[in-house]
């Protein structure tokens, strides 16, 4: 996620359904931009890896604005739970929270 938020293209190598889903979720949170997923252990892994690297290299220039926007959105979403918690514990209508 750090690489994506810095507008660096990422090639994710996955060898299990768990990590495949994990990286698909990350890919979705960045508008399907900047992250290529290559499956390990398949007959066509070498081709998929070469394709993922080429796609990442060629597509990153046009993806910069989308990646920056997604990174900003992720920062806001990451801070929101803390803001809501603060609001819950500092409510005026609950005695002892101020």
SS3 labels along the chain:
CHHHHCCCCEEEEECCHHHHHHHHHHHHHCCCCCEEEEECCCCCHHHHHHHHHHHHHHHHHHHHHHHHHHHHHHHHHHHHHHHHHHHHHCCCCCCCCC
Higher pLDDT, 92 or 54: 54
Which band of pLDDT confidence, cut at 50, 70 and 90, is reported for residue 1?
low
pLDDT digits (tens, 9 = 90+) for 46-61: 999 999 888 877 766 6
pLDDT digits (tens, 9 = 90+) for 2-46: 676 676 788 999 999 999 999 999 888 776 777 889 999 999 999
pLDDT of amino acid 31: 66
pTM above 0.95, yes or no: no
């Amino acid at each position: 996620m750090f690489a994506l938020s810095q507008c660096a293209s990422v090639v994710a190598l996955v060898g299990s359904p768990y990590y495949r889903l994990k990286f698909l979720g990350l890919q979705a949170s960045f508008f399907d931009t900047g992250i290529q997923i290559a499956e390990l252990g398949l007959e066509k892994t070498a081709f998929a890896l070469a394709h993922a690297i080429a796609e990442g290299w060629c597509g990153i220039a046009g993806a910069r604005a989308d990646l920056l926007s997604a990174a900003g959105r992720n920062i806001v979403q990451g801070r929101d739970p803390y803001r809501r918690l603060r609001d819950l514990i500092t409510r005026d209508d609950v005695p002892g929270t101020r």
